[in-house]
Amino acid sequence: MDLRTYLRILRRRWPIVVAAALGVTAVSAVLTILTPRSYQSTAQFFVSTSDNQNTATLAQGNVFTQQRIKSYAQLLKTPKALDPVAVELGGNLTASELATKVAASVPPDSVLLDVVATDGDPAVAQEIAEGVAATFPTVIDELEKTNADGTSPVKVTVVKEATLQSNAVSPRPARNLALGLVLGLLLGFGLVVLRELLDNKVRTKDDLEQLTDVTVLGGIPFDSDTPKHPLILHSDPLSGRAEAFRTLRTNLQFVDIANHPRTIVVTSSIAGEGKSCTSANLALALAESGAKVCIIEGDLRRPRLLDYMGLEGSVGLTDVLIGKYELIDVLQPFGRLSLQVLGAGPIPPNPSELLGSQGMRDLLATLRRDFDYVVIDAPPLLPVTDGAVLSTQVDGGILVVGSGVVTKDQVDHALESLEAVNGRLLGMVLNRVPRGRSGGYYDYRYEYKPTTSHREASGRRKRTAERGAPEPRVPDDATL
Residue-wise pLDDT tens digits, 18-68: 999 999 999 999 999 999 999 999 999 998 876 555 444 555 556 677 778
Beginning with the edge strand found earlier in the chain, give each strand of the sheet holding 396-402 in spatial order. 216-221, 425-433, 396-402, 263-268, 373-377, 293-297, 339-342, 332-333
Phi, psi (degrees; rounded to nearest 5) at 362: -65, -40
**Which tens digits make up the pLDDT trace of 91-140?**
788 989 999 999 999 998 888 999 999 999 999 999 999 999 999 998 88
Count of beta carbons in the 10 Å neighbourhood of residue 417: 18
Residue 270 has pLDDT above 70, yes or no: yes
Tell me the pLDDT band of 462, cut-offs 50, 70 and 90: very low
CATH class of 205-468: alpha beta
Residue ranges of domains in the chain? 3-35+172-198, 39-160, 205-468
> In the chain, what is the straight-line distance between the N-terminal and C-terminal CA atoms, in Å?
33
- Who wins on pLDDT, 66 or 81? 81
Half-sphere exposure of residue 5, counting CA atoms within 13 Å on the CB side? 9
**Which tens digits make up the pLDDT trace of 202-250?**
988 888 988 899 999 999 999 888 888 889 988 899 998 999 999 999 9
Determine the 3-state secondary structure of 267 from DSSP: strand
Residue 469 has pLDDT above 60, yes or no: no
Determine the 3-state secondary structure of 47 from DSSP: strand
Sign of the alpha-carbon torsion through 274, 279, 284, 289: positive
**Which tens digits make up the pLDDT trace of 202-212?**
988 888 988 89
**Which tens digits make up the pLDDT trace of 360-395?**
999 999 999 999 999 999 999 999 999 999 999 999
Fold of the 39-160 domain: Alpha-Beta Plaits (3.30.70)
**Which tens digits make up the pLDDT trace of 340-349?**
999 999 999 9
pLDDT at 478: 44
Percent of the chain with pLDDT over 70: 86
pLDDT at 466: 44
Tell me the pLDDT band of 444, cut-offs 50, 70 and 90: very low
Residue 259 has pLDDT above 80, yes or no: yes
Residue 359 has pLDDT above 90, yes or no: yes
pLDDT at 449: 43
Half-sphere exposure of residue 151, counting CA atoms within 13 Å on the CB side? 8
pLDDT at 410: 95
> Hey, which residues does 102 pair with through a beta bridge?
117
- Who wins on pLDDT, 81 or 62? 81
> Hey, which residues does 402 pair with through a beta bridge?
431
